[in-house]
Chain A
Amino acid sequence: MTSPLIEIRRIVTSVEEIFHEFGPVAPRPYRRASVAGVLRNPYAGRYVADILPMLDALKPVGLEMARRLVDALGGDPKVVQGYGKGIIVGAAGETEHAALWHAPGGYAMRELLGGAKAIVPSSKKVGGPGARLDVPVTHINASYVRSHFDAVEVGVPGAPAADEIVFILVMTDGPRVHDRAGGLKVSEIKGEDGLR
């Protein structure tokens, strides 16, 4: 039974395949997938002290969106190497509403990816229809892996309306296409603390 707090109006799923960026063509394209769910903001237009019921209500939404992302990348969660999340709150909401996505968005991806260790990086803003958000991306098991630092610009034309929130998840399947800035490598991950 879906919570009455949840009204999904629109879902935009996107996959970018990068073959090169003016350097050698990659043996397989680097892929960056995003999913943006446009939901009604049940707390728009007034100050609501207790907003935590929405956090719980968002959990199944997070799972559905994470599944869509994995499907968009071919269906195998094992190909996912980087992730991130973001939120754009419409004009009648507040930044704090964006923070409702941290638990359900993050946990959904980790559950689907089989216990990814790194914190899911995020960004948030209040914006008008068509606002764009740069969603940060890091390696799923070790935040300091330099080859996987990236960001994906996401936005939905026409959303968010004043009473809407755009909830965003992002997954990538490799390092940046011409990764050569050094730093911690995937082969050097210890995988104990989610950082290195």
Chain B
Amino acid sequence: MSAKIRKLLTLVDEVRREMGEDVDPPTRRAVACAVIENPCAGRFVADLSELTAIGEELGSLLTKKCVQALGIEGAKAESYGKAAIVGEGGELEHAAAILHPRMGAPVRAVLGKGAALIPSAKKMGGLGTPIDVPLGHKDAAFVRSHFDAIEVRVPDAPRAGEIVVAIAVTDSGRPHPRVGGLAKHEIKGEDGLR
């Protein structure tokens, strides 16, 4: 069973100046979304393995879309995140089935590494519902300069029987980070935290 994709949306948000100061190099955040049919909509389905398989497939596809949109090697990615919006014919657990069991491995395969947990968000929603995809450094979750989130929405999705699945990848942290904490050059990268 593979995902039945109605549309894909990929965007890159590039920040060049913030509060009158150049951001050099610009920060760049990509998000790729797939609008898919929810095979479990409209009834209670006990076994969500169909959605889990879809999560694995989209982990690879959407991460590749992000990396391609950024024009970088996967290994140059710095932070990542994931999210899902379930249309009203589904349930929140459907988002969990897509995002948590098997999505991570293919994401990490595209990016080369990724010792850190992939931060996530999920919600139920209607057409055009926005979601803030949380972002964290891919090799060390405590890197403070890379805590961020990027908002994304698909104007005509999710329909009741659809799910919007999003993966975000960046090649940078926030513009002008200056609140201290663990810096990226201090990463050990062993435990996914520091």
Q: Report which of A10, A17, A18 forms a contact with B14, defined as CB distance below 8 A.
A: A10
* Number of A-B contacts defined by CB within 8 Å: 59
Interface flag for A21 (CB, 8 Å): yes
Choose one: B6, B10, B12, B69; the contact of A19 (CB below 8 Å): B6
Q: How large is the interface on B (under 10, 10 to 19, 20 to 34, 35 or more residues)?
A: 20 to 34
Chain A neighbourhood of B128, CB < 8 A? 153
Distance between B105 CB and nearest chain A CB, rounded to angstroms: 25
Within 8 A of A (CB), among B146-179: 150-151, 154-155
- The segment out of B15-23, B118-126, B134-142 that lies at the interface is B15-23
- A14, B14: Cβ atoms closer than 8 Å: no
Q: Say whether B17 contacts A16, CB under 8 Å.
A: no
**Which residues of chain B come closer than 8 Å to A19, judged between CB atoms?**
5-8
**Interface positions of A from 7 to 60, Cβ below 8 Å from B:** 7-22, 29
Query: What is the chain A residue whose CB lies nearest that of B5?
Result: A19
Chain A residue contacts of B69, Cβ below 8 A = 13, 15, 72
CB distance from A34 to the nearest CB of B (A): 9
**A11–B6 contact, CB under 8 A?**
no
Judge whether B92 is part of the interface by a CB distance below 8 angstroms: no
Evaluate whether A16 and B8 lie within 8 angstroms (CB atoms) in the complex, with A153-B155, A157-B151 already known.
yes
Distance of A12 Cα from B130 Cα, bound (Å): 16
Q: Given A8-B16, A8-B17, verify A13-B11 contact (CB < 8 Å).
A: yes
- The residue in chain B whose Cβ has the minimal distance to the Cβ of A8 is B16
Considering the complex, give the chain B residue whose CB is closest to the CB of A21: B6
Cα–Cα distance between A18 and B156 once the two chains are bound (Å): 11
Instruction: For chain B, residues 1 to 46, give those with C-beta under 8 angstroms from any C-beta of chain A.
Output: 5-18
Interface of B is mostly: strand
Q: How large is the interface on A (under 10, 10 to 19, 20 to 34, 35 or more residues)?
A: 20 to 34
Q: A179 CB to closest chain B CB, in angstroms?
A: 16
Inter-chain contacts of B150 with A (CB < 8 A): 157
Query: Which residue of B has the minimal Cβ distance to A16?
Result: B9
Q: Which residues of chain B are within 8 angstroms of A18 by Cβ–Cβ distance?
A: 6-7
The CA-CA distance from A56 to B43 in the complex, in Å, is 59
Cross-chain contact of A12 among B6, B14, B18 (Cβ < 8 A): B14
Question: Given the complex of chains A and B, what is the CA–CA distance between A9 and B176 in angstroms?
Answer: 13
Q: Which residue of B lies closest to A158 (CB)?
A: B151
- Taking CB atoms, residues of chain A closer than 8 Å to B155 are 132, 153
CB distance from A120 to the nearest CB of B (A): 21
A20 to B159, CA, bound (A): 13
Contacts A18-B7, A19-B6, A19-B7 given; does A12 touch B16 at CB 8 Å: no
Query: Chain A's nearest CB lies how many Å from the CB of B35?
Result: 9
Which of B5, B8, B11, B69 has the largest number of chain A CB atoms within 10 A?
Answer: B11
- Pick the contact of A9: B8, B9, B10, B17 (CB < 8 A): B17
User: CB distance A9 to B6 under 8 Å?
Assistant: no
Contact A9/B18 with A16-B7, A153-B155 known, Cβ cut-off 8 Å: yes
Task: Say which residue of B7, B16, B154 sits within 8 Å of A10 (CB atoms).
Answer: B16
Contacts A12-B13, A13-B12, A18-B6 given; 13 further ones with Cβ under 8 A? A8-B16, A10-B15, A13-B14, A16-B8, A17-B7, A19-B5, A21-B6, A22-B6, A29-B7, A72-B69, A153-B128, A157-B150, A157-B151
